[in-house]
Structure 1
Amino acid sequence: MKEKNQNFFFELELEEDQLIKLAFWADARSRAAFEYFGDVISFDTTYNTNRYNLVCGSFVGVNHHGQSTLLGCSLMKNEEIESFKLLFQCWLCCMGGNAPKGFLTDQCASMKRALEACMPTIIHRWFIWHIMKKIPSKLNGYKGHAEIEQEMSQVVWNSHSKDSFDRNWNDFLLNFGLVDNKWLSDLSEDHYIWVPIYLDHHFWAGMRSTQRSESMHSFFNKFITRNSSLIQFVKQYDNCLGSREQAKRESDAADFHTVIPCATKSSIEAQFQDVYTHQKFRVVQAQFRRKANCITRLTNSALGYSVYEVGEQVSSLIFNKFVVTYDSVATEVKCQCLLFESRGILCRHALSVLSFEQVTQVSPRYILERWSKKVKRQHTHIKSSHNEPLLEPRSKRFDELVFCSQNICKFTSELEELTAILHCAYDTIMVEMEELKAKRKGTSSLSHKDANLESVNEFQSPPRIRTRGRPKIG
């Protein structure tokens, strides 16, 4: 891999007995992509994919399509503080010493302390799902534990200010007799690292839950089995990268050659349609649709600064209320739900107020370059190290077709007659291709088993051992 691209980064730390202490690698394109998508990183070690019980850790970002993008992978001997310190220092070195703004992990004490030592300036956040899934096992000894679980979820997710969370949390503990519960007491002390209202004023690119990590685990399973050798693991991880790259390339092509119709007549929606990738525009559209469930009421106004109460009907019996402010001088809108601050998407409550104020164009500050399809990102031009026999032919064909179709579309779109000719030819060709595809069905698929693995003699896979659980907080 290093021979294919000199910017491929690989670090190997061995024990005295030559067994692996740490292996970390990141390809050249992943390193370059960090410039654009390294603002928020998810790091997860729950994917135990190898038979030797080496701990697999993956650094994951989010690209402009909202897709997971891999920014490094590691194999570690254990999950002690010093192991994580070594890994995080290695990863920082790989990324030019630049730490992300936000860093998400599971609820691991060793990881927390290592991050405090290696990246003291980041905002560290625990995956809230890892905490909420423990409620049944931690509280099932209490009478009415199902009601306790429901109330705790309500307090965590529907407290829209720090004061209201603190008040609701204390009431919750008192009402259910949970003041002396150690697990909940520990969570109370660490509220700043997992409770949404304490964190959502920072940008998280939609990564606050563990859903993205679980999605990556599912994706890994397509390429790697538990019986994969260490060398197979490294090689197949590289092919996994290539497959993600191909998905991104196809999404890029769709952005430039197709258009998603607006769901409303709003000129603001059209602003996002023009700039955002398809995937992120769909997220914006969902907010426009849900705006129909909102009722806006002006509560105070002075010198161009207005305060609104937006009621949102979430069910036949439940209305949630949000405070939204609008500054007509600064053309600034802010909502209590913090969707824009945390995910970079204007919420339905803010859109409702903008509609009430008859605003026809939003300030450029609300159209993030982060989600733009128009930005030329240099990392896409970097040659990757992926297994060429497996992935390159399809990638080359795809690139050639995109280039040809772009030129044809530019030429034919000038006249209706030319467009009609192209549509007719397209329909004919599609019929022929579908017939050919039907004849060859089941003969052209490739899996990870088709990849040729080179003989590697530098180091050996460690002895196979039984899997043991990882110590966690709580």
Structure 2
Amino acid sequence: MINFSFSCSTLFYNIMEQTPNISCEDDDFQLCPDLNCGDEDEETSQSSLATNIEKEFASLTIEEMESRLEVGKPIPDEIIAYGMYCLYGRAKGFSVRKDNVEWFKDGSGIKARDFVCSCEGNKDEKRSRLNIPAFLKPTKRCNCKAKIRVGRLKGQDWRVTSFRKEHNHDMYSPDLTYLLRSSRQLSSEMQQCLESMVKCKIPVRKAYDFLRIESQGRENVGCTQKDMYDAVSRAKKQSIIERSDADQLVEYFMNMTNKEPGFYWNAQRDEDKRLVNFFFRDYRCRIDYEYFGDVLSVDTTYRTNKYNMICCPFVGINHHWQTVMFGCAFMSNEKESSFEWLFTTFLESMGGKQPETIFTDQCRAMMNAIDTVFPESHHRLCHWHINQNTSNHFGSLKGDEMVDDYNIEDKDWFTNMYNLRHRWATAFSCHRFSAGLNATSRSKGTNAALKNEFGGSTSSLYECVLSFDELLESWRNDEKIKDNYSHHYWLPVGLNPYLKQHDLLSNFAITEQVEVFGTSLVLYTMNSRMGRSRSITVQFDSQTSTVACSCHKYETCGILCSHAIKVLERVNIDYIPEIYIKKRWTKSVAKRICDGRGASCSGTSGAFPVVFVPEMVRKVYGLAGRAKFHNETRSILAESLESVESKLNDWFENFNLNVPLVGNDGNIPQTNETGKGENVPQTNEVVLLDPHPIRTRGYTDVHIRHWDAKGRKSKGRGQRLSKF
């Protein structure tokens, strides 16, 4: 169980992990250093020693603590001395900070160290008179002389050399000691919990409220809400200082390449070795493209990072009519050469398979690149993007007024749209498969999902890639839910899909039947029973049992239309022929994950180290919830955990665990297929700098009024009233 309540052992363990050179002169909260640094065996032994001392020291009264800190008393080392003095300060009601440190002349180590009350010293009056803002703040320093000094001779043990326990100020009351700076620490468990919450887009305020409720009070959390804000802020700044955005990105791609079979990535850099474009996809995207890659939608209208790079997702439609991802790219510009590189890279990563239909926006550079890289594909323009652009060009104009009064036929945009009618008009694409997609809601939904998942204009590329993976996992989980539902639920016999389609035919009736002389073809004409003038013609071949309808639903959607089923019923065929059942729409497509790799991508064959931790946390948390109501059960659980902790400490002391036995995924790392960038060599040492922040196409500092700004202005707002 993750214990979020304050305990002396938690405080002591965090103190043990601090380095002796960390300055604590100020009153700001200091986050503990990285728990993974240093020698693991040494950390384990120090932790075990600190725990044993804590169990003995924390149970003492204030008088007994003072007797243990008297002059001449032995101390294991100066770090443990600081921890003991902090525990003493919390019990008595004052905060502790580190002060002077004295080193051996040969520099071999620390000779002596002072730990003082936080009220020690006086405010610098000289600087205060200079009106320096930092020295004009209220202070609590009142020249308190309480302190402890520990020291040693060379080659000898640490001892208390000075201890003054008199204070010249009031002590904190017991209900306020949780506010003491030396008592506020973020435990390693709390850091991991906070990190997970931040990754899930949970505000720090909500995370603190959760910890407050779990620990049953603010005084038991171990830190304040501001401490958590500072910890998150420092972690982000430290990440930026230690590694650049591009370095983190390359390291992530390298780790994924070694961990996941078939992970693909490729990148471009300019002459200054700055990142320009990059593309990535996992192996599941490759499998999905094999089954659903007949229709591809590419959207380049969303920018959501601090470099203002274009987010370019490659999406399609799966067997549940849900959005499925084939990969993602980030681009610095919208040049034709960049699109050619991107589409060539995508085609290479997918084994050269070209889609039947591609939906994009109205970017001329992208159109030219598609004609070059995808000559066999039918390029269509997304209706959603056309609708977005139409409002900007049409404004409030409509009907004949647009043509007659404003001579609209001479406008370039409308002329260009007419010349491109074969790319967006449905009448020109009725013989091309598009899975029934006009991209009206698909692009809009993808943009909305990316906007909700990404952090906005301040997000780094590395954060965007991690957020993209979270979005991908969410979409795939939705597909699992649909697969489970379709495999375990079905319609009653009287309402099977064939009969359900048959019930929808009540609006049409066969009015004419014509046999083509000398052939096996029969033409059926259907008219609407609703009084509409529309008529449908269905051609049936009795020799091959094939049908062809003038509505072209099967050609565009891959699903046999109700008109064709009506004809099949007329000729006493009570089943849908196999040739009209596309595999991409069947339930068997759900097995593609196992077929692609021999094992499920979502499942695991063993207990991975990453999975082990949350499983154990849930188990211990459940036991603690059951045992908390009785003293006897609480004692049983506490003694059992102490026994387990002791056994683990003994095991860690006898074995060296610096080298992991398995990788992060529980398997031995192996080589996999990876994309070879033409400019970025995918080696262990890749020199890649952060991209330049760029402006969007058409960006201007001048405010451009909306065409309907006058009509959109709210009535009554900003109007001056007459004084009468």
- Shift in Å, 1:379: 3.7
Q: Does the aligned pair in 1 maintain the 2:297–2:439 contact within 8 Å?
A: no
Q: Relative to 1, partners in 2 of residues 1:213 and 1:462: Cα closer, same or farther, differing over 3 Å?
A: same
1:192-246 per-position Cα deviation (integer Å, ceiling 9, x unaligned): 2222122121111222223112222222234212132211001111121112222
1: distance between equivalents of 2:298 and 2:356?
Answer: 13
Residues 108, 290 of structure 1: CA spacing in aligned structure 2 closer, same or farther, 3 A cutoff? farther
Listed one character per residue, the Cα deviations across residues 102-135 of structure 1 (whole Å, up to 9, x for unaligned) are: 2111121100101111121211111133334544
- Change in CA separation of 1:460 and 1:223 when aligned onto 2, cut-off 3 Å: farther
RMSD over aligned Cα atoms:
3.4
Q: 1:143 to 1:94 in 2, by over 3 A?
A: closer
Deviation sequence 1:14-68 (CA, Å, 0-9, x none) = 1223332111100111122222121221111112222321011011122222221
8 Å contact from structure 1 (residues 43, 59) kept in 2:
yes
1:61 aligns with 2:275: no
| Partner in structure 1 of residue 247 of structure 2 | none
Name the counterpart of 2:375: 120
The answer as to 2:440 corresponding to 1:210 is: yes
Residue 322 of structure 1 and its aligned partner are, at CA, apart by 2.0
The corresponding residue for 1:100 is 355
Query: How far, CA to CA, are the matches of 1:235 and 1:309 in structure 2?
Result: 55
| Residue number in structure 2 paired with 1:220 | 450
Segment of structure 1 superposing worse, 178-187 or 118-127: 178-187
Instruction: List gaps (5 residues or longer) in structure 1.
Output: 149-172, 270-284, 387-391, 398-455
Q: Percent identity?
A: 31
The counterpart of 2:539, out of the listed 325, 332, 353, is 325
Q: Which has the higher contact order (CA 8 A, sep 6+)?
A: 1
Bigger CA drift: 21-30 or 2-11?
2-11
Residues 1:18 and 2:280 aligned together: no
The structure 1 residue matched to 2:549, chosen from 323, 330, 335, is 335
In the other structure, the counterpart of 1:36 is: 291
8 Å Cα contact 1:62-1:69 kept in structure 2: yes
Distance in 2 (CA, whole Å) between partners of 1:289 and 1:181 is 49
2:561 aligned residue: 347
Q: Aligned runs of 1:224-263 on 2, under 5 Å?
A: 224-226=454-456, 227-261=458-492
1:80 paired with 2:335, answer yes
Task: Provide the secondary structure at the position in 2 that maps to 1:131.
Answer: helix
AA at the equivalent of 2:437: M
CA contact (8 A) 2:273 2:687 kept: no
Instruction: Specify whether residues 265 and 33 from structure 1 end up closer, same or farther in structure 2 by C-alpha distance, changes over 3 A only.
Output: closer
For the residue of structure 2 that corresponds to 1:3, the secondary structure is helix
Any idea what the Cα deviations from partners look like across 1:254-306, whole Å, max 9, x if unmatched?
Answer: 2222213367477x35xxxxxxxxxxxxxxx5x54532222221252235422
Q: Distance in 1 between matches of 2:318 and 2:330?
A: 24
Q: Aligned residue for 1:291? A: 505
Q: Which residue of 2 aligns with 1:109?
A: 364
Q: Tell me the secondary structure at the aligned position of residue 374 of structure 1.
A: helix
Partner SS, residue 56 of structure 1: strand
Counterpart Cα distance in 2 of 1:235 and 1:7: 18
**Aligned pair in 2 of structure 1 residues 137, 235: CA closer, same or farther (>3 Å)?**
closer
**Structure 2 residue ranges without an equivalent (≥5):** 1-255, 605-609, 616-684, 700-724
What is the 5 A alignment of 1:54-203?
Answer: 54-140=309-395, 144=399, 182-203=412-433
Classify 1:136/1:362 alpha carbon distance in 2 versus 1 (closer, same or farther; 3 Å).
Answer: same
User: Conserved in 1, the CA contact under 8 Å of 2:309 and 2:694?
Assistant: no
1:325, CA displacement in angstroms? 1.7
- 1:213–1:321 CA distance, 2 compared to 1 (3 A): same
Query: What is the Cα deviation at residue 86 of structure 1?
Result: 0.8
For residues 140 and 263 of structure 1, the distance between their equivalents in structure 2, rounded to whole angstroms, comes to: 52
CA–CA distance in structure 2, aligned partners of residues 93 and 374 of structure 1: 27
Equivalences, count: 362
Distance 1:114 1:385 in 2: 39
Measure the CA separation in 2 of the matches of 1:360 and 1:53. Answer: 57
Task: Give the match's secondary structure for 1:210.
Answer: coil
Q: If you compute each CA radius of gyration, which structure gives the higher value, 1 or 2?
A: 2
| Superposed displacement of residue 177, structure 1 | 8.3
Maintained 8 Å contact 1:229/1:461 = no
Q: Does the Cα contact within 8 Å between 2:340 and 2:369 map onto a contact in 1? A: yes
Match of 2:526 in 1: 310
After superposition, the Cα gap between the structure-2 partners of 1:3 and 1:344, relative to the gap in structure 1 and judged at 3 Å, is same
Aligned partner letter, 1:232: E
Give SS of 1:104's match: strand
Paired with 1:255 and 1:143, the residues of 2 have a C-alpha distance of 46
Whole-angstrom CA distance in 2 between matches of 1:138 and 1:51: 30
How has the CA–CA distance of structure 1 residues 468 and 263 changed in structure 2, closer, same or farther, with 3 Å as cutoff?
farther
CA 1:21–1:265 in structure 2 vs 1: closer, same or farther (change >3 Å)? closer
| 1:317-346: CA deviation from partner (whole Å, max 9, x where unpaired) | 644322222222221111111111100111
Moved more, 122-131 or 84-93: 122-131
For 2:433, give the aligned amino acid. F
Q: Can you list the C-alpha shifts for 1:136-167, whole angstroms capped at 9, x where unaligned?
A: 54445756369x8xxxxxxxxxxxxxxxxxxx
Change (3 A) 1:142 1:242: closer
For residues 548 and 342 of structure 2, the distance between their equivalents in structure 1, rounded to whole angstroms, comes to 39
Q: Distance in 2 between matches of 1:76 and 1:137?
A: 25
Query: Is contact 1:346-1:366 (8 Å) kept?
Result: yes
- Bigger Cα displacement from structure 2, 183-192 vs 458-467: 458-467
The TM-score normalised by the length of structure 1 is: 0.68
CA distance in 1, matches of 2:522, 2:543: 11
Take 1:219 and 1:289, find their aligned partners in 2: how far apart are those partners?
37
